[in-house]
Amino acid sequence: MHSSSCCCCCSSFLLFLLPLLLALVWSTGRFSGISGNCRLSAGVGFGSMKPVIVVHGGAGRIFKDREEGARSGVTRAALKGYSILKQGGNALDAVEEAVTSMEDDPHFNAGCGSVLNEKGEVEMDAIIMDGKNLASGAVSAVKCIANPIKLARLVMEKTEHMLLTDHGANLFAKAMGVPEIPGEKLITQRSRERWNKNLEPDSNPQEFKKDPGTVGAVAIDNEGNVACATSTGGLANKLVGRVGDSACIGSGGYADNHVGAISTTGHGESMMKVVLARLILYHMEQGMSPVEAADTALNYMKTRVGGLGGVIVVSNSGDWAARFSTKQMSWATVKDDQLQYGIYTGEIHTSSVAEALESK
């Protein structure tokens, strides 16, 4: 009798445990992106993930008179992206909105405010990627449009391709009804002055590398989907047709729901040589935190190929990082209704979203 009542207790206990066990198996049964042969693409949260957005306005040398504009620009972009996430919007929309904001902001080297190529024209690269299904769209050497990131998204959603370049990208923009704008509209006095300065005989091309390049954003939404977006005018006085990391999947950005999302900035050629975005995610797959992964990869890039840069990272559990090996990188993040931002190493300003919106 005693043993039979024990059996009843045991089976009740097991029945109680079973759903817990099943939940445990489900949550740990996600194969890593590298070795698995089963791809679970849904985010982990089913509406329960706290959304996070991180943006950057470029790593490099930010002149003193541009600092306030940079801080202001990245915070505005982060807040815009966050408002989409807060209302239940998806990560892809959030990163697109954040990057569009910075493309429209003449303080940044993307869209309006882009640096000029050697001929004095604006040629832009951009990429957007959806961590849910690894879909991506990118454009390189595109001219005369205000928002390359929007065009990149159209490439992803309206074509069967992932990268369109040059004249073909512009043809596609026309076919999509994207307004063509005169190239001069994207050129600021600042970018024109720098272009002229760089043409002087005593200018040092190595110095061009130090100018901040590129804007970007990464986000995770409340369903646990991650996305990244990166956009740039490239290198000052670059050769016509030069394409940097920003249009190259794995270098300028990468997003994978299994791990996280990255957007990079800095010396494009160095980032391409180490496929920086993908490298950081690889480290995270091996168990490193976003900060460790970013620092390890940036250090590797510095020692192996002598390149400096910055990255923003969000993991699929909502951890984030903004790290850079240059002196400065403007960045901002919003998580838990709290805004943080900075430019120099160790500089972190914090305020609530409510306060920040009020002050704007």
Partner 1 sequence: MSTKPVLVVHGGAWAIPDEFAERSILGVKNAVKSGFAVLEMGGSSMKAVEIAVRALEDDTVFDAGHGAVLNADGYVELDAIIMNGKTLAAGAVSCIRNISNPVTFACSVLKKTPYVMLTGTGANQFAEKLGIPQVPVEELVTDHAKAEWEQYRKYKQTVKSLFNTELVHDTVGAVAIDCEGNMACATSTGGITNKMVGRVGDTPVIGSGGYADNLVGAVSATGHGESIMKVTLARLILFHMEQDLHTTRSSMCGSLHYCAEVGEQPSLRHQLLPSLPDPVEAFLQVKLQRKLQILLFTIWRRESMDGEEL
Known binding site for substrate: residues?
A: 242-245, 265-268
Given a contact cutoff of 8 angstroms between Cβ atoms, the answer to whether 214 and 265 are in contact is: yes
Helix (H, G, I), strand (E, B) or coil at 2: helix
Closer residue to partner 1 (CB): 69 or 168: 168
Determine the Cα–Cα distance for residues 113 and 188; give it in Å rounded to an integer: 5
Cβ at position 313, least distance to partner 1 in Å: 17
- Amino acid at the residue 111: G
- Residues belonging to the binding site are 242-245, 265-268
Edge-to-edge strand order for the sheet containing 309-315?
253-256, 260-266, 309-315, 320-324
* Residue 64 φ/ψ region, left for φ over 0, alpha for ψ in the -120 to 50 degree band, beta for the rest: alpha
Residue 333 known to be catalytic: no
C-alpha closest to that of 131 among 159, 95, 84: 95
Given a contact cutoff of 8 angstroms between Cβ atoms, the answer to whether 145 and 151 are in contact is: yes
Closer residue to partner 1 (CB): 273 or 327: 273
Cβ at position 206, least distance to partner 1 in Å: 9
- Catalytic-labelled residue, pool 75, 100, 214, 326: 214
Give burial (CB, 10 Å; 0-12/13-18/19+) of 150: buried
Task: Name the packing angle between helices 91-103 and 64-86 (round to 10°).
Answer: 150
Helix (H, G, I), strand (E, B) or coil at 220: strand
Give, rounded to a whole angstrom, the gap between the first and last alpha carbons of the chain: 74
Determine the Cα–Cα distance for residues 150 and 163; give it in Å rounded to an integer: 13
Cβ at position 128, least distance to partner 1 in Å: 13
Determine the Cα–Cα distance for residues 247 and 173; give it in Å rounded to an integer: 16
Determine the Cα–Cα distance for residues 157 and 261; give it in Å rounded to an integer: 19
Q: What DSSP element (H or E) covers 208?
A: helix 205-208
Closer residue to partner 1 (CB): 78 or 164: 164
Closer residue to partner 1 (CB): 274 or 334: 274
Cβ at position 71, least distance to partner 1 in Å: 31
Closer residue to partner 1 (CB): 222 or 251: 251
Facing residues of 266 across strands?
309
Cβ at position 336, least distance to partner 1 in Å: 32
Cα Rg, the chain, nearest whole Å: 22
Closer residue to partner 1 (CB): 75 or 147: 147
Cβ at position 268, least distance to partner 1 in Å: 8
Residues that bind partner 1 (CB under 8 A): 33-39, 117, 123, 133-136, 140-141, 159-169, 171-172, 205, 238-244, 248-251, 254, 268-269, 272-275, 278-279, 282, 304-305
* Catalytic sites, residue numbers: 214
